[in-house]
Amino acid sequence: MSDQSEILKAMQANADALTRLADSQKETKTRLLEIEQKMVRNPRSEGFGDGGGVAELADLIIKSSGAQAFEQKNTPSFSVNVPARLLTKNTIINATGSGQPLVAGDRVEQRGIVFAPQQRLTVRGLFAQIPTSSNLIERPAELAFTNNAGAQGGPTSPQGTGESELKAESAMTLQLLQTAIVIIAHFIKASRQILSDAPLLQRHLDQRLTYGLNVKEENNLLTGDGGAGVMFGIVSQATPFNGGATNQTILDTLAKAANQLAVGNYEPSGFILNPVDWLTCQLLKDTTGRYLLGDPAATTTPKLWGLPVVPTPSMTSGQFICIDAQRYGYIADREDATVRISENVNDDFVRNVITVLAEKRCALVTELGAAAVYGALSYAG
Protein backbone atom coordinates (compact mmCIF):
# COMPACT_ATOMS: atom_id res chain seq x y z
CA MET A 1 0.00 0.00 0.00
CA SER A 2 2.85 2.36 0.80
CA ASP A 3 4.51 1.53 -2.53
CA GLN A 4 1.36 2.51 -4.39
CA SER A 5 1.19 5.78 -2.47
CA GLU A 6 4.79 6.57 -3.37
CA ILE A 7 4.06 5.86 -7.06
CA LEU A 8 1.05 8.21 -7.02
CA LYS A 9 3.13 10.97 -5.42
CA ALA A 10 5.84 10.59 -8.06
CA MET A 11 3.27 10.66 -10.86
CA GLN A 12 1.73 13.81 -9.39
CA ALA A 13 5.16 15.47 -9.15
CA ASN A 14 5.88 14.60 -12.77
CA ALA A 15 2.51 15.99 -13.79
CA ASP A 16 3.22 19.24 -11.91
CA ALA A 17 6.62 19.49 -13.56
CA LEU A 18 5.10 18.98 -17.01
CA THR A 19 2.52 21.66 -16.23
CA ARG A 20 5.23 24.12 -15.18
CA LEU A 21 7.28 23.29 -18.27
CA ALA A 22 4.26 23.85 -20.48
CA ASP A 23 3.57 27.17 -18.77
CA SER A 24 7.24 28.22 -19.16
CA GLN A 25 7.24 27.24 -22.83
CA LYS A 26 4.03 29.20 -23.34
CA GLU A 27 5.58 32.24 -21.59
CA THR A 28 8.74 31.98 -23.69
CA LYS A 29 6.78 31.75 -26.92
CA THR A 30 4.69 34.72 -25.83
CA ARG A 31 7.82 36.82 -25.12
CA LEU A 32 9.41 35.83 -28.42
CA LEU A 33 6.19 36.67 -30.21
CA GLU A 34 6.14 40.08 -28.57
CA ILE A 35 9.72 40.71 -29.75
CA GLU A 36 8.80 39.71 -33.28
CA GLN A 37 5.68 41.91 -33.27
CA LYS A 38 7.64 44.90 -31.95
CA MET A 39 10.22 44.51 -34.68
CA VAL A 40 7.55 44.31 -37.33
CA ARG A 41 5.49 47.15 -35.88
CA ASN A 42 8.34 49.63 -35.22
CA PRO A 43 11.68 48.31 -36.40
CA ARG A 44 13.44 51.70 -36.17
CA SER A 45 12.65 52.17 -32.47
CA GLU A 46 14.29 48.79 -31.77
CA GLY A 47 17.37 49.66 -33.81
CA PHE A 48 16.82 47.29 -36.75
CA GLY A 49 17.33 49.58 -39.71
CA ASP A 50 14.40 49.91 -42.09
CA GLY A 51 12.63 46.65 -41.10
CA GLY A 52 14.33 44.42 -43.66
CA GLY A 53 15.34 41.05 -42.22
CA VAL A 54 12.99 41.25 -39.22
CA ALA A 55 11.44 37.87 -39.86
CA GLU A 56 14.85 36.37 -40.38
CA LEU A 57 16.07 37.82 -37.08
CA ALA A 58 13.02 36.56 -35.16
CA ASP A 59 13.45 33.09 -36.67
CA LEU A 60 17.13 33.17 -35.75
CA ILE A 61 16.29 33.91 -32.11
CA ILE A 62 13.50 31.32 -31.76
CA LYS A 63 15.53 28.50 -33.34
CA SER A 64 18.73 29.24 -31.48
CA SER A 65 20.11 26.66 -29.08
CA GLY A 66 20.05 29.24 -26.34
CA ALA A 67 16.31 29.83 -26.74
CA GLN A 68 15.68 26.08 -26.69
CA ALA A 69 17.75 25.66 -23.54
CA PHE A 70 15.86 28.58 -22.01
CA GLU A 71 12.52 26.89 -22.85
CA GLN A 72 13.69 23.71 -21.19
CA LYS A 73 14.71 25.56 -18.03
CA ASN A 74 18.31 24.56 -18.56
CA THR A 75 19.55 28.16 -18.45
CA PRO A 76 18.18 31.38 -16.88
CA SER A 77 19.31 33.46 -19.88
CA PHE A 78 20.77 33.08 -23.32
CA SER A 79 22.57 35.05 -26.05
CA VAL A 80 22.32 34.95 -29.81
CA ASN A 81 25.01 35.95 -32.31
CA VAL A 82 23.24 38.27 -34.73
CA PRO A 83 24.85 39.17 -38.10
CA ALA A 84 25.75 42.84 -38.44
CA ARG A 85 23.58 43.13 -41.55
CA LEU A 86 20.51 42.60 -39.35
CA LEU A 87 21.50 45.31 -36.81
CA THR A 88 22.23 48.37 -38.99
CA LYS A 89 21.40 51.39 -36.81
CA ASN A 90 19.96 54.52 -38.37
CA THR A 91 19.43 56.98 -35.49
CA ILE A 92 19.71 60.50 -36.93
CA ILE A 93 21.79 62.90 -34.81
CA ASN A 94 23.47 66.29 -35.29
CA ALA A 95 26.78 66.39 -37.10
CA THR A 96 29.57 68.40 -35.52
CA GLY A 97 31.91 71.09 -36.85
CA SER A 98 31.62 72.84 -40.19
CA GLY A 99 29.92 71.56 -43.32
CA GLN A 100 26.99 69.87 -41.53
CA PRO A 101 24.55 68.34 -44.06
CA LEU A 102 21.32 69.39 -42.30
CA VAL A 103 22.11 72.37 -40.04
CA ALA A 104 23.44 75.63 -41.47
CA GLY A 105 25.74 77.75 -39.30
CA ASP A 106 24.36 81.08 -38.11
CA ARG A 107 26.77 83.52 -39.79
CA VAL A 108 26.53 86.89 -38.05
CA GLU A 109 27.49 89.71 -40.41
CA GLN A 110 25.93 92.67 -38.61
CA ARG A 111 29.06 93.02 -36.45
CA GLY A 112 31.39 92.90 -39.43
CA ILE A 113 34.57 90.89 -39.94
CA VAL A 114 36.46 90.18 -36.72
CA PHE A 115 39.91 91.79 -36.51
CA ALA A 116 42.52 92.63 -33.90
CA PRO A 117 42.23 95.83 -31.82
CA GLN A 118 43.29 98.98 -33.63
CA GLN A 119 45.92 101.33 -32.29
CA ARG A 120 44.57 104.56 -30.86
CA LEU A 121 46.06 107.35 -32.98
CA THR A 122 46.94 110.48 -30.99
CA VAL A 123 49.85 112.39 -32.51
CA ARG A 124 47.97 114.10 -35.38
CA GLY A 125 45.64 115.72 -32.86
CA LEU A 126 48.56 117.65 -31.36
CA PHE A 127 48.92 119.84 -34.44
CA ALA A 128 46.86 122.28 -36.42
CA GLN A 129 45.73 120.72 -39.72
CA ILE A 130 45.67 123.04 -42.70
CA PRO A 131 44.58 122.02 -46.22
CA THR A 132 46.81 122.79 -49.19
CA SER A 133 46.36 122.72 -52.97
CA SER A 134 50.05 122.20 -53.81
CA ASN A 135 52.56 119.40 -53.59
CA LEU A 136 55.17 121.69 -52.00
CA ILE A 137 54.93 123.88 -48.91
CA GLU A 138 57.16 126.96 -48.87
CA ARG A 139 57.53 129.50 -46.09
CA PRO A 140 60.06 132.24 -45.39
CA ALA A 141 61.97 131.80 -42.17
CA GLU A 142 64.48 133.79 -40.19
CA LEU A 143 67.89 132.18 -40.33
CA ALA A 144 69.74 134.58 -38.01
CA PHE A 145 69.09 137.80 -36.13
CA THR A 146 71.71 140.00 -34.55
CA ASN A 147 70.17 142.38 -32.03
CA ASN A 148 72.24 145.51 -31.55
CA ALA A 149 69.47 147.70 -30.12
CA GLY A 150 70.82 150.38 -27.78
CA ALA A 151 70.57 153.95 -26.69
CA GLN A 152 71.39 156.65 -29.26
CA GLY A 153 74.86 157.89 -28.53
CA GLY A 154 75.34 155.25 -25.86
CA PRO A 155 78.30 152.99 -25.39
CA THR A 156 77.35 150.94 -28.40
CA SER A 157 76.87 153.88 -30.70
CA PRO A 158 79.33 153.96 -33.59
CA GLN A 159 80.41 157.52 -32.73
CA GLY A 160 79.45 160.52 -30.67
CA THR A 161 76.88 160.85 -27.95
CA GLY A 162 73.37 162.24 -27.69
CA GLU A 163 71.00 163.42 -30.36
CA SER A 164 71.81 163.42 -34.05
CA GLU A 165 74.41 160.71 -33.60
CA LEU A 166 74.36 157.39 -35.47
CA LYS A 167 72.21 154.67 -33.98
CA ALA A 168 73.17 151.00 -33.62
CA GLU A 169 72.48 148.68 -36.55
CA SER A 170 71.17 145.15 -36.18
CA ALA A 171 71.31 142.36 -38.78
CA MET A 172 69.02 139.67 -40.08
CA THR A 173 69.21 136.93 -42.70
CA LEU A 174 66.26 135.03 -44.13
CA GLN A 175 65.78 131.75 -45.93
CA LEU A 176 63.05 129.89 -47.79
CA LEU A 177 62.07 126.61 -46.18
CA GLN A 178 60.44 123.89 -48.30
CA THR A 179 58.54 120.75 -47.32
CA ALA A 180 57.35 118.26 -49.92
CA ILE A 181 53.96 116.61 -49.64
CA VAL A 182 54.43 112.84 -49.31
CA ILE A 183 52.21 109.99 -50.46
CA ILE A 184 51.32 107.18 -48.08
CA ALA A 185 49.64 104.30 -49.89
CA HIS A 186 49.06 100.55 -50.11
CA PHE A 187 46.73 98.16 -51.97
CA ILE A 188 45.12 94.72 -51.88
CA LYS A 189 43.95 92.58 -54.80
CA ALA A 190 40.67 90.65 -54.79
CA SER A 191 38.54 88.94 -57.41
CA ARG A 192 35.60 90.85 -58.83
CA GLN A 193 33.37 87.92 -57.88
CA ILE A 194 34.23 87.96 -54.17
CA LEU A 195 33.74 91.71 -53.95
CA SER A 196 30.35 91.32 -55.63
CA ASP A 197 29.28 88.27 -53.63
CA ALA A 198 30.53 89.50 -50.25
CA PRO A 199 29.70 93.19 -49.71
CA LEU A 200 30.99 92.78 -46.16
CA LEU A 201 34.51 92.33 -47.54
CA GLN A 202 34.44 95.62 -49.46
CA ARG A 203 33.50 97.56 -46.33
CA HIS A 204 36.16 95.76 -44.33
CA LEU A 205 38.87 96.50 -46.88
CA ASP A 206 37.94 100.20 -46.92
CA GLN A 207 38.23 100.41 -43.15
CA ARG A 208 41.41 98.41 -42.72
CA LEU A 209 43.28 100.01 -45.58
CA THR A 210 42.44 103.48 -44.27
CA TYR A 211 43.54 102.47 -40.78
CA GLY A 212 46.83 101.21 -42.20
CA LEU A 213 47.47 104.63 -43.76
CA ASN A 214 46.83 106.41 -40.49
CA VAL A 215 49.11 104.10 -38.50
CA LYS A 216 51.93 104.68 -40.98
CA GLU A 217 51.30 108.41 -40.84
CA GLU A 218 51.60 108.43 -37.05
CA ASN A 219 54.88 106.51 -37.23
CA ASN A 220 56.22 109.01 -39.77
CA LEU A 221 55.07 112.00 -37.73
CA LEU A 222 57.29 110.75 -34.93
CA THR A 223 60.26 109.02 -36.53
CA GLY A 224 60.21 109.75 -40.28
CA ASP A 225 63.80 110.29 -41.46
CA GLY A 226 63.08 112.59 -44.39
CA GLY A 227 64.36 110.07 -46.95
CA ALA A 228 62.95 109.73 -50.45
CA GLY A 229 59.18 110.05 -50.22
CA VAL A 230 59.23 110.08 -46.39
CA MET A 231 58.28 113.05 -44.22
CA PHE A 232 60.60 114.53 -41.60
CA GLY A 233 59.35 113.35 -38.22
CA ILE A 234 59.69 115.14 -34.91
CA VAL A 235 62.63 113.03 -33.75
CA SER A 236 64.71 114.02 -36.80
CA GLN A 237 64.11 117.74 -36.20
CA ALA A 238 63.95 118.00 -32.39
CA THR A 239 66.66 119.41 -30.12
CA PRO A 240 68.52 116.72 -28.12
CA PHE A 241 67.78 116.64 -24.40
CA ASN A 242 70.67 118.21 -22.48
CA GLY A 243 69.64 117.51 -18.89
CA GLY A 244 70.48 113.83 -18.58
CA ALA A 245 71.86 112.76 -15.20
CA THR A 246 72.83 109.38 -13.81
CA ASN A 247 69.99 107.51 -12.11
CA GLN A 248 67.53 110.40 -12.06
CA THR A 249 63.86 109.39 -12.12
CA ILE A 250 61.62 109.58 -15.18
CA LEU A 251 59.74 112.44 -13.54
CA ASP A 252 63.01 114.34 -13.09
CA THR A 253 63.92 113.84 -16.73
CA LEU A 254 60.58 115.07 -18.04
CA ALA A 255 60.58 118.11 -15.75
CA LYS A 256 64.04 119.08 -17.02
CA ALA A 257 62.94 118.58 -20.64
CA ALA A 258 59.99 120.92 -20.15
CA ASN A 259 62.32 123.44 -18.54
CA GLN A 260 64.73 123.16 -21.49
CA LEU A 261 61.92 124.32 -23.76
CA ALA A 262 60.90 127.07 -21.35
CA VAL A 263 64.46 128.40 -21.20
CA GLY A 264 64.36 128.64 -24.99
CA ASN A 265 61.18 130.78 -24.73
CA TYR A 266 58.86 127.99 -25.82
CA GLU A 267 55.64 126.92 -24.10
CA PRO A 268 55.61 123.14 -23.58
CA SER A 269 52.25 121.68 -24.57
CA GLY A 270 52.78 118.03 -23.62
CA PHE A 271 54.85 114.87 -23.49
CA ILE A 272 54.77 111.96 -25.97
CA LEU A 273 55.53 108.60 -24.32
CA ASN A 274 55.24 104.91 -25.06
CA PRO A 275 52.33 103.38 -23.04
CA VAL A 276 54.83 101.16 -21.19
CA ASP A 277 56.76 104.21 -19.96
CA TRP A 278 53.56 106.03 -19.03
CA LEU A 279 52.60 103.01 -16.91
CA THR A 280 56.00 103.18 -15.22
CA CYS A 281 55.20 106.77 -14.24
CA GLN A 282 51.78 105.76 -12.91
CA LEU A 283 53.28 103.04 -10.71
CA LEU A 284 55.82 105.27 -8.96
CA LYS A 285 55.31 105.29 -5.17
CA ASP A 286 56.63 107.23 -2.21
CA THR A 287 58.35 105.67 0.79
CA THR A 288 54.99 104.85 2.39
CA GLY A 289 53.71 102.95 -0.66
CA ARG A 290 51.36 105.66 -1.90
CA TYR A 291 51.16 106.33 -5.64
CA LEU A 292 52.82 109.61 -6.55
CA LEU A 293 50.33 110.42 -9.30
CA GLY A 294 47.29 110.01 -7.07
CA ASP A 295 44.52 107.54 -6.32
CA PRO A 296 44.39 104.71 -8.91
CA ALA A 297 40.58 104.81 -8.69
CA ALA A 298 40.45 108.43 -9.83
CA THR A 299 39.61 109.09 -13.49
CA THR A 300 41.91 111.89 -14.54
CA THR A 301 43.41 113.05 -17.82
CA PRO A 302 47.01 111.77 -18.17
CA LYS A 303 49.25 114.63 -17.03
CA LEU A 304 52.76 115.20 -15.72
CA TRP A 305 53.99 118.53 -14.36
CA GLY A 306 50.68 120.06 -15.43
CA LEU A 307 51.19 119.04 -19.07
CA PRO A 308 49.13 116.44 -21.01
CA VAL A 309 50.71 113.05 -21.68
CA VAL A 310 50.07 111.49 -25.09
CA PRO A 311 50.71 107.71 -24.92
CA THR A 312 51.25 105.99 -28.27
CA PRO A 313 52.85 102.65 -29.26
CA SER A 314 54.48 104.53 -32.15
CA MET A 315 56.86 106.16 -29.67
CA THR A 316 59.99 104.12 -29.00
CA SER A 317 59.95 102.67 -25.50
CA GLY A 318 62.52 104.33 -23.24
CA GLN A 319 62.45 107.59 -25.26
CA PHE A 320 60.36 110.74 -24.92
CA ILE A 321 59.38 113.92 -26.71
CA CYS A 322 58.46 117.16 -24.99
CA ILE A 323 56.95 119.60 -27.49
CA ASP A 324 55.50 123.04 -28.02
CA ALA A 325 53.19 121.81 -30.78
CA GLN A 326 51.88 125.25 -31.74
CA ARG A 327 55.35 126.65 -32.41
CA TYR A 328 56.74 123.46 -33.84
CA GLY A 329 54.60 123.48 -37.00
CA TYR A 330 51.45 122.02 -38.51
CA ILE A 331 50.15 119.22 -40.72
CA ALA A 332 49.47 120.14 -44.34
CA ASP A 333 46.74 117.96 -45.88
CA ARG A 334 46.77 117.70 -49.67
CA GLU A 335 44.40 114.73 -49.96
CA ASP A 336 42.50 112.96 -47.21
CA ALA A 337 42.54 109.17 -47.14
CA THR A 338 40.75 107.79 -50.18
CA VAL A 339 40.01 104.26 -51.36
CA ARG A 340 39.75 103.54 -55.10
CA ILE A 341 39.29 100.35 -57.13
CA SER A 342 40.44 99.51 -60.63
CA GLU A 343 40.67 96.58 -63.04
CA ASN A 344 43.16 98.37 -65.29
CA VAL A 345 46.32 96.92 -63.76
CA ASN A 346 48.41 94.70 -66.02
CA ASP A 347 46.15 91.79 -67.11
CA ASP A 348 43.76 92.09 -64.15
CA PHE A 349 40.82 92.85 -66.45
CA VAL A 350 40.92 89.48 -68.18
CA ARG A 351 41.47 87.75 -64.84
CA ASN A 352 38.51 89.45 -63.13
CA VAL A 353 40.93 90.82 -60.52
CA ILE A 354 40.36 94.19 -58.87
CA THR A 355 42.98 96.31 -57.13
CA VAL A 356 41.73 98.14 -54.03
CA LEU A 357 44.07 101.09 -53.45
CA ALA A 358 44.16 103.42 -50.44
CA GLU A 359 46.29 106.54 -50.20
CA LYS A 360 46.63 109.95 -48.60
CA ARG A 361 48.89 112.95 -49.21
CA CYS A 362 50.16 115.09 -46.38
CA ALA A 363 53.26 116.44 -44.65
CA LEU A 364 54.42 117.58 -41.24
CA VAL A 365 55.56 121.15 -41.84
CA THR A 366 58.32 121.93 -39.34
CA GLU A 367 58.59 125.64 -38.65
CA LEU A 368 60.75 125.56 -35.51
CA GLY A 369 62.41 122.22 -34.84
CA ALA A 370 63.80 123.55 -31.55
CA ALA A 371 60.23 123.58 -30.23
CA ALA A 372 60.63 119.87 -29.46
CA VAL A 373 63.09 118.09 -27.14
CA TYR A 374 63.91 114.43 -27.65
CA GLY A 375 65.89 112.09 -25.44
CA ALA A 376 66.14 109.02 -23.24
CA LEU A 377 64.07 108.64 -20.09
CA SER A 378 66.86 107.15 -17.98
CA TYR A 379 70.61 107.28 -17.84
CA ALA A 380 72.33 104.28 -16.31
CA GLY A 381 75.14 104.93 -13.84
- The pLDDT tens digits for 49-88 are 444 556 676 777 777 777 777 766 667 676 777 776 666 5
Least confidently predicted of 18-27, 74-83, 235-244, 333-342:
18-27
pLDDT at 181: 95
Q: Give me the torsion for CA of 251, 255, 260, 266, rounded to 10°.
A: 130
Instruction: Report the run of H or E that residue 312 belongs to, with start and end.
Output: none
Hey, what long-range contacts does 73-80 have (CB within 8 A, 24 or more apart)? Answer: 73/21, 73/24
**How confident is the model over 100-123, as a mean pLDDT?**
82
Separation of first and last alpha carbons in the chain: 130
Give exposure, 223-250, as e/b (b: 16+ Cβ within 10 Å): bbebeeeebbbbbbbbbebebbeeebeb
Determine the length of the chain.
Answer: 381
**How confident is the model over 185-190, as a mean pLDDT?**
95
Of 359, 360, 358, 355, give the one whose Cα is nearest residue 342: 355
Q: The domain 124-135+181-376 belongs to what CATH superfamily?
A: hypothetical protein PF0899 domain (3.30.2320.10)
pLDDT at 156: 57
Beta bridge partners of 308: 303
State yes or no: pLDDT of 183 exceeds 90: yes
pLDDT in tens, 287-320: 898 988 888 888 778 899 999 999 999 999 999 9
| CATH 3.30.2320.10 boundaries in the chain | 124-135+181-376
Other C-beta atoms lying within 10 Å of the C-beta of residue 165: 13
State yes or no: pLDDT of 45 exceeds 50: no
Tell me the chain's radius of gyration from C-alpha atoms: 46
Judge contact between 121 and 360, C-beta under 8 A: no
Helix (H, G, I), strand (E, B) or coil at 26: helix
pLDDT at 53: 59
| Rounded distance between C-alpha atoms, residue 62 and residue 39, angstroms | 14
Other C-beta atoms lying within 10 Å of the C-beta of residue 39: 20
Q: Give me the torsion for CA of 24, 28, 31, 32, rounded to 10°.
A: -170
pLDDT at 107: 77
pLDDT at 55: 67
| Rounded distance between C-alpha atoms, residue 322 and residue 255, angstroms | 10
CA angle, corner 22, sides to 17 and 27, nearest 5? 125
Instruction: Tell me the range of 56-70, 93-107, 147-161 where mean pLDDT is highest.
Output: 93-107
Q: How confident is the model at residue 270 (pLDDT cuts 50, 70, 90)?
A: very high
Average pLDDT, the chain: 84
CA angle, corner 309, sides to 308 and 313, nearest 5? 150
